[in-house]
Chains A and B, each alone.
Chain A
Amino acid sequence: MPRYYFHTENGGRIRDDQGEDLADLDAAREEAVTVLGEILRYRGAGFWATRSFSVIVTDADGRTVVSVTAQASDAAPSGWTLAEAGG
């Protein structure tokens, strides 16, 4: 099984030197989203101080294979309007 490394970036950077053996890239994607969700869960309003949180996944050769980012903002995502939000 390939080994993937899950680094994080939210102002400060934390490098993962240990890595985790996972079945394939999809398993690495799943783990990346899980890690993002777990770490963000208790960040609370403090998340607006850094506004961005990313999990960057690299392979054994140090190449980035995927990343996932959550953003906090005072504005809506570009192009979003309440009128078109449905409901």
Chain B
Amino acid sequence: MTATPPTAAKITTLVEKLSLRDSVSATEVAALQHVLGAPRTVRAGIDIVHEHSHPQQSTLLIAGFSARYSTLRDGGRQITEINVAGDFIDLHSLLMKQMDHGVLALTDCVVANASHVSLIQLTEHHPHLSRLLCLDTIIDAAIHRQWLVAMGRRSGLGHLAHLVCELYLRLQAAGQADGLTFDLPLTQAMLGDSLGLSTVHVSRLITELRGEAVVQWAGGRIEILDWHRLAEIAEFDPTYLRLQREPV
């Protein structure tokens, strides 16, 4: 049972992440608190947002891991982004209106909704905060670009290493990493659907990464033993995550 955090705690991860990119004022924090409803739990395996639905609200992921995904007729599933605590998983539905993909809870998740009506008001009263939130959806697009490059051209090992580097930096940005250690309670099948690789291959790649002594990976927890080497295997360039502070 995932504990439901108190209302005051629900935007901590989001604010922490946004604050890495630009300063967030107390008024803006209050405005974010104001638009978000009560946190609720979504069980692992359940759709948080359905493909082709017309959401009337956008959903903030407060705790847990979710995935943007599309499925093919033969049952094949491709995860196109893994979302972590502090991510608005469908902020784009505010303007896209209809979902072109689904969002699935990979683990038990705690989420909170912001109605589109209240988000529209927020864009009118808080233009700077709106730009910061808009930046987050732009970064989602940048993440999709890097995943496309990885899917098409990286070796299996490079691709897995790239995913580990990315998730570590994103979790760290949201205050969810403990030094170089972080929780990643995803199955090899979920990782396979994220990398476009078979479960068998993913299992081998994890063994290979462990063998290179760059990570310790057991029981859904990863410790990066050698960041420099991991980043080298991944040819990782963090530019796309836009983790530097520059005013928007």
Chain A residues proximal to chain B, CB less than 8 Å: 6, 8, 14, 16, 18, 20, 31, 34-35, 38-39, 41-42
Chain B residues lying within 8 Å of A35, measured Cβ to Cβ, are: 198, 200-201
Q: When the two chains form their complex, are residues A18 and B201 in contact, meaning their CB atoms are under 8 A apart?
A: no
Task: Name, among A20, A31, A34, the residue most crowded by chain B CB atoms within 10 Å (CB to CB).
Answer: A20
Please indicate the chain A residues that have their CB under 8 angstroms from the CB of B201 in the complex.
35, 38-39
Residues of B within 8 A of A18 (CB): 188, 203
The answer to whether the Cβ of B155 comes within 8 Å of any Cβ in the partner chain is yes
Taking a contact as CB atoms under 8 Å apart, the answer to whether A31 and B204 are in contact is: no
Tally inter-chain residue pairs, CB-CB below 8 A. Answer: 26
Instruction: Kindly report which residue of chain B lies nearest to residue A55, judged by CB atoms.
Output: B200
Chain B residues with CB under 8 Å of A31's CB are 198, 200
Please state if B198 and A42 are interface contacts (CB–CB under 8 Å).
Answer: no
The reply to whether B200 and A6 contact each other, CB–CB distance below 8 Å, is: yes
Q: Which residue of A lies closest to B154 (CB)?
A: A42
> Bound complex: CA of A42 vs CA of B205, how far in Å?
13
8 smallest A-B Cβ distances: which pairs? A42-B155, A6-B200, A38-B201, A35-B200, A34-B198, A35-B198, A20-B199, A38-B197
Residues of A within 8 A of B204 (CB): 8, 14, 39
* Cα–Cα, bound, A58→B155 (Å): 27
Which of B155, B156, B197, B203 is close to A16, meaning CB atoms less than 8 Å apart? B203
CA of A80 to CA of B199, assembled, Å: 36
Can you spell out 19 A-B residue pairs with CB atoms less than 8 angstroms apart? A6-B200, A8-B204, A16-B200, A16-B203, A20-B199, A20-B200, A34-B198, A35-B198, A35-B200, A35-B201, A38-B156, A38-B197, A38-B198, A38-B201, A39-B156, A39-B201, A39-B204, A41-B155, A41-B156
* Measured CA separation A31–B204 after assembly (Å): 15
- The docked-state distance in angstroms from the alpha carbon of A20 to that of B156 is 19
B170 to chain A, nearest CB (A): 26
Tell me which residues across on chain B come within 8 A of A39, comparing CB atoms.
156, 201, 204
A31 to B201, CA, bound (A): 10
Near A by CB (< 8 A), chain B positions 160-215 give 188, 197-201, 203-204
Q: Which residues of B contact A14 (CB under 8 A)?
A: 204
Cα A35 to Cα B199 in complex, Å, equals 9
Which B residues between 13 and 36 are near A, CB-CB below 8 angstroms? none
Question: Which of B156, B188, B199, B203 contacts A42, CB < 8 Å?
Answer: B156
Contacts of A8 in B (CB 8 A): 204
Q: A8, A16, A38, A42: which has the most chain B beta carbons within 10 Å?
A: A38
Cα A42 to Cα B188 in complex, Å, equals: 21
